[in-house]
Amino acid sequence: LQRYGVFQTSITLNWTALPASPQSASSRGYLIEASTTNFGALSPGGVTFASATPNVALSTLTVAGLTPDATYFLRAGALNWSGAANFLNPGSTSTLSVPPAAAALATLYTTSTTVTWDAVTSQGYRVEASVNPTFTPVFFSSTASGGATALTVTGLSANTSYYYRVASLNWNSARSYADLGRLSTLALPPVSPFYPNTGVFYSSATVQWTAVASRGYQLDASTAPNFSGSVLFSSTTNGAATSLVVANLDSGTTYYFRVGSLNWNSAPNYVVLSATAT
């Protein structure tokens, strides 16, 4: 007798079926039961969930209607011709918790990623990141707080695509996953950007930098220091590029500039330069 499958609201047991004959070695079916009170041994009352079959050849039954992330005591028995069960006890186990709700990749950095979710009934959470969809090898971060709503997984490589998932943990620390897909960490920012001599003209400006491992760069110009409103920009998909020019600027106007390296999802990691006037 063994636990064959444990799910959020059901548990499956299986066993070696008894022979159909002789009658002394057979049965008239099977019964499995689940109880959170160990069938009254821990506390009086409680609900016993059951599943039965008259088929002596059957070797698997599932008891359903259980509560997620709850510990159940189990028993299974062969039925005699009066319907009485001769029980065996395979012990107790916890149903799986519900996967974290509304899970999302909140913030990506160069070497870490923060994942958020809405808390569910659980005994904690675990966030995982891997370059492989099989999650081997895996980087992870975990907590034993069932009320947690965010974790950050660290030790990642810059400008690298990772698969992400977050799991809620039940009483046995078994995981119930929500997949988050694949996304790249940020590339390292451009190194030491500057305005070259004669790089700022009446209606354009040039910025130079030292290249980093990336899939390109974007140069932004704005009259607002927070880059709100209209932003003029120039970009390249050449990761080896070391300069860009933004054109169509207004003469005699102060502009704020920032240059960002692009990761595999074209998300920029910016460095802000000092303002300059055309």
Q: How many angstroms separate the CA atoms of 83 and 81, rounded?
A: 5
pLDDT for 95-117, tens place per residue? 999 999 999 999 999 999 999 99
pTM for the complete prediction?
0.88
Q: Which CATH superfamily is domain 101-184 in?
A: Immunoglobulins (2.60.40.10)
pLDDT for 55-67, tens place per residue? 999 999 999 999 9
Domain pair 101-184 / 191-277, same fold: yes
CB 107 within 8 A of CB 95: no
Q: How many angstroms separate the CA atoms of 90 and 3, rounded?
A: 7
Q: What is the dihedral of CA 92, 96, 97, 100, to 10 degrees?
A: 160
Q: How many angstroms separate the CA atoms of 88 and 76, rounded?
A: 5
Per-residue DSSP letter, 39? T
Give every CB contact of residue 41 below 8 A, 6+ residues apart in sequence: none
What is the pLDDT at residue 198? Answer: 85
Of the chain, the percentage scoring pLDDT greater than 70 comes to 100
Q: Which CATH superfamily is domain 2-94 in?
A: Immunoglobulins (2.60.40.10)
- Domain 191-277 in CATH 2.60.40.10: yes
Q: What is the mean pLDDT of the chain?
A: 96
What residue ranges do the domains of the chain occupy? 2-94, 101-184, 191-277
pLDDT for 151-163, tens place per residue? 999 999 999 999 9
